Structure formats: C-alpha cells, structure tokens
Amino acid sequence: MAINSLDAIDIIFGGVLPIMQNTKKPNGSVYKVQRPINSVKEDIVVTGLALNRDTGFQNGVLNVNIHVQNLSITSGGITDNSQPNISRIKELTAIIETLIGDIYGDYYSYEIDQDNLFIEEKSSYNNIRVTFRALNQPD
C-alpha cells in the first residue's frame, strides 16, 4: 500500500515535535502544512511538495520551515525590521537537524537534502528540504 504525502508529513512532524521539549525551543509552535496567518512567533512548519505513487519505492520531497522574527534595529530614529535573526535561525536549525538527520524506519527513510534562507519583510525562515523514501507495503 502506498503512503500519501499527508502520511509523510505526519512522519516528519513526529520527528520534529520533540523540539518543544528542548530548553531552546521556539516561542511559537510546530504546525503541519502552514502557520497561522500573521504569526509573530518562532514557528516550525512541516509541509510536502510531492510524493510519487510508483510501485516499489516512493520518493518525495518535504519541507521543514523554521520561521523567526527579524531583528528590530533603530538607527537615526528609523526602525529597520528587515535584518534576519541569523543566530536564532542557526540555533533552531541545529536542533532540527539533530532530530531529523538521517532517519531509517521499518518501511521509510528520510534525510536532509539542502537548506536555504528566505528573507521576508518582518520575518525570515530557513527552509530545510528533506528527501523522503518509502517502500510500498502490501495491503
């Protein structure tokens, strides 16, 4: 039986969730698919791009996005919120990488493929791309 992308998200989500027990946990929460609109918290979002339905082995890509508010820097009476909080993003990324590094389950595996920083107006996020593989199970 093939698993679907929502099953894969559940598996990665389960791997990420223990971050909330860490002393350096985010001040927000961990979500599936998307974070709440207008969140100003440090949130982690697990979402999927695609998971094929081939017989035998399935391959797919999932994302773990680590959202952190940008720094607020005032200079000359002007406040700039465009600078990413690199040190905090690095700290949360390191924790996530220890939780979801190379994982091998009974019928699936996943590994971190790459990461990329995206800078937005008020917050930024590090996108960790995860390669997910599953062995189709008999019905």
Query: Of 64, 57, 31, 45, whose CA–CA distance to 130 is shortest?
Result: 64
Cα torsion angle, 70, 97, 22, 32, sign: positive
Dist. CA 131–CA 97, nearest whole Å: 13
pLDDT tens digits, residue range 99-134?
A: 988 788 888 899 999 999 999 989 999 999 999 998
Domain count, the chain: 1
- Give the CATH number, domain containing residue 68: 3.30.2000.20
For tokens 């979002």, the residue is 45
* pLDDT for res 135: 87
Structural domain boundaries enclosing 62: 5-135
pLDDT at 55 over 80: no
Which positions ≥6 away from 38 have C-beta within 8 Å?
Answer: none
Q: What is the pTM of this model?
A: 0.91
